[in-house]
C-alpha cells in the first residue's frame, strides 16, 4: 500500500474530524499500547534493583542496588541457570543434527508418505505436554533419568525436532535446486552437495531455527517442573522452588525473573525477522 494516493488528496471539507486527525490518533493509540505492553515488564525489572526497604516504592528516582542479584548468586540459582544453558544448548544441537538432514530430504525428495509425515509433525506441535510428561515421568523412574540433564534434553526433542524439520523444510524449499544439480553433475554426492551448497545458503534460516529452539527450551516450565527436582532443575523451576521455601521475597524473585527474561529478549530482538517466521510456523502458507 502506498502513501501516494492517501486521503489528503480529497477536499478537506469532505473529511470528518476523525479522518483529518487519524494519523495523530493512531500514533497516540500506538503509544498507549506500547505503554501497556512494556509497563508490567519494566516494572518487574526496576523492582529487582530496588532496596528491600523501598521495594514497592513508586518514585522514579531511587538508589539502585544489586543486593538481590548478590543474594541469588550465593544460593542455588547459578547452578539452575547453568542447567538451563546446558540443557537448552544440547537439545538445540541434537534437534538440528537430526532435524536438518530430515528437513532437507522432505524438501527435495518425493516420498509417498511425505504428507503423513507432515501431519505427524503438526500433531506433535499440537499435543498437550501433559500427555508426554506422564509417560516420560513413569519411564524415567524406571531407567533413572528423573532429575537429570539428559532426561530433559531428550524430552525437549519432542518439540524441538518437529520445529526444526518444519522450519528448515521451508528454508530449503527456498534454495534453488539448480545449484545442487550442478554440484551433482560435478560428481558431488547428495550430502556433499548439501553441505557445500544448500546448507551455507540457508545459514540465516539455520540461525533463526537454532535461536527459536533455544528459546523454547529455555522457556519451558512444565516439563522441568515435573521431571527435575534439585540436581537438574532449570532456572524457571528454581524461581518457583525458592518461592515455595522462602515465600514471596519480591526483590529476589524480580531479580531472578529478570535474569531468566534477559537472554530471550536480547536474542529475539537480534534475530527478529527470522524469528517471526518460526513463531508463526504452520500458521501461514509459504
Q: Which stretch binds another protein (CB under 8 A): 20-28, 68-76, 143-151, 199-207?
A: 20-28
Task: Specify the residue, 12 or 115, whose C-beta has the smaller distance to another protein.
Answer: 115
Site for another protein in 121-150 (CB under 8 A): 121-124, 126-132, 134-139
- Could you tell me which stretch among 67-75, 85-93, 200-208, 232-240 binds another protein (CB under 8 A)? 232-240
99-118 mask for another protein (x: CB under 8 A)? x-xx-xxx-xx-x--xx-xx
Q: How many residues does the chain have?
A: 286
**Angle CA(176)–CA(198)–CA(268) in degrees, nearest 5?**
100
CA distances (Å), origin 42, targets 58, 241, 257: 13, 24, 12
207 belongs to the binding site for another protein (CB under 8 A): no
Print the binding letters for residues 67-106 with another protein: x by CB under 8 A, - otherwise: -------------------------------xx-xx-xxx
Instruction: Give the separation between CA 92 and CA 207, rounded to whole angstroms.
Output: 11
Contact present, 254 and 47 (Cβ < 8 Å): yes
Which cell numbers hold the place of 243?
Answer: 518461592
Interaction mask 240-259, another protein, x per CB under 8 A: x-------x-x--xx--x--
Among 12, 13, 17, 40, binds another protein (CB under 8 A): 40
Q: Which of 183, 210, 260, 274 binds another protein (CB under 8 A)?
A: 260
Least distance in Å: CB of 73 to another protein?
19
Least separation in angstroms between residue 109's CB and another protein is 4
Question: Judged by CB under 8 A, does residue 8 bind another protein?
Answer: no
Q: Least distance to another protein from the beta carbon of 68, Å?
A: 13
Q: Pick the binder of another protein from 8, 20, 21, 38 (CB under 8 A).
A: 38
Task: State the Cα–Cα distance between residues 41 and 36, nearest whole angstrom.
Answer: 9
List the Cα angle 169/172/178 in 5-degree steps: 145
Q: Helix (H, G, I), strand (E, B), or coil: what is residue 115? A: helix
26-64: b or e for each residue (b if 16 or more CB lie within 10 Å)?
eeeeeeeeeeeeeeeeeebeebbbbeeeeeeeeeeeeee
State which of positions 145-184 bind another protein (CB under 8 A): 154-155, 157-158, 161-162, 165, 169, 184
Among 8, 20, 26, 182, binds another protein (CB under 8 A): 26
Other C-beta atoms lying within 10 Å of the C-beta of residue 104: 24
CB of 194 to another protein, least distance (A): 8
Distance CA 254, CA 218 (A): 18
Amino acid at each position: 500500500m502506498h502513501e501516494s494516493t492517501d486521503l489528503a488528496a480529497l477536499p478537506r471539507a469532505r473529511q470528518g474530524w476523525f479522518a483529518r486527525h487519524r494519523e495523530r490518533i493512531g500514533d497516540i493509540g500506538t503509544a498507549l499500547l506500547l505503554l501497556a505492553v512494556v509497563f508490567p515488564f519494566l516494572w518487574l525489572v526496576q523492582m529487582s534493583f530496588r532496596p528491600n526497604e523501598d521495594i514497592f516504592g513508586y518514585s522514579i528516582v531511587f538508589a539502585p542496588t544489586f543486593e538481590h542479584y548478590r543474594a541469588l548468586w550465593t544460593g542455588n540459582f547459578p547452578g539452575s541457570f547453568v542447567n538451563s544453558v546446558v540443557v537448552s544448548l544440547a537439545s538445540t544441537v541434537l534437534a538440528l543434527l537430526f532435524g536438518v538432514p530430515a528437513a532437507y530430504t522432505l524438501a527435495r525428495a518425493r516420498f509417498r508418505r511425505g504428507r503423513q509425515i507432515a501431519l505427524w509433525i503438526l500433531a506433535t506441535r499440537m499435543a498437550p505436554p501433559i500427555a508426554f510428561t506422564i509417560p516420560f515421568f513413569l519411564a524415567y523412574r524406571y531407567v533413572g533419568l528423573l532429575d537429570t540433564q539428559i532426561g530433559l534434553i531428550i524430552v525437549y526433542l519432542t518439540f524441538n525436532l518437529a520445529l526444526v524439520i518444519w522450519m528448515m523444510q521451508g528454508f530449503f524449499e527456498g534454495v534453488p535446486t539448480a545449484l545442487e544439480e550442478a554440484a551433482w553433475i560435478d560428481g558431488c554426492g547428495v550430502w556433499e552437495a548439501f553441505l557445500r551448497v544448500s546448507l551455507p545458503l540457508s545459514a540465516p534460516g539455520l540461525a533463526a531455527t537454532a535461536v527459536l529452539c533455544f528459546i523454547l527450551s529455555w522457556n519451558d516450565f512444565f516439563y522441568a517442573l515435573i521431571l527435575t527436582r534439585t540436581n537438574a532443575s532449570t532456572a524457571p523451576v528454581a524461581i518457583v522452588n525458592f518461592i515455595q521455601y522462602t515465600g514471596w521475597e519480591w526483590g529476589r524473585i524480580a531479580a531472578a525473573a529478570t535474569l531468566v527474561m534477559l537472554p530471550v529478549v536480547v536474542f529475539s530482538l537480534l534475530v527478529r525477522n527470522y524469528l517471526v517466521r518460526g513463531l508463526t510456523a504452520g500458521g501461514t502458507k509459504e
